[in-house]
Amino acid sequence: MSTIDLNSPPPNHKFSVSVEREETDGERRVRLFKDVALFVVAVGFVVLLVVLCYSTLSSSTATAEEKKWAMSVLSAATGGIIGYLIKK
């Protein structure tokens, strides 16, 4: 077995030491619950926004300016989702 002197590492070599804490089952459950809850809230917000925009577009009482706003929001949301799926 070879021994490496950490006071003078071999040429072109670096070393690092890290101490990491192990995640417990309770902490893992809390982290996963938080991630899922955030995802559900985000999806709910997007669905609410799409429903609001669609109802504005299909409404006969909405003004032309409101319909332009709704179309812009839907276009931006669609572009964002497509960009996320394609990842470019």
Distances in whole angstroms, Cα of residue 23 to Cα of each of 27, 30, 46 = 6, 11, 32
How much of the chain exceeds pLDDT 70, in percent?
98
Residues 6+ apart with CB under 8 A from 15: 4, 6, 9
Q: What is the pTM of this model?
A: 0.63
The model's pLDDT over 40-73, given as tens digits with 9 standing for 90+, comes to: 999 899 899 999 999 999 998 989 999 999 999 9
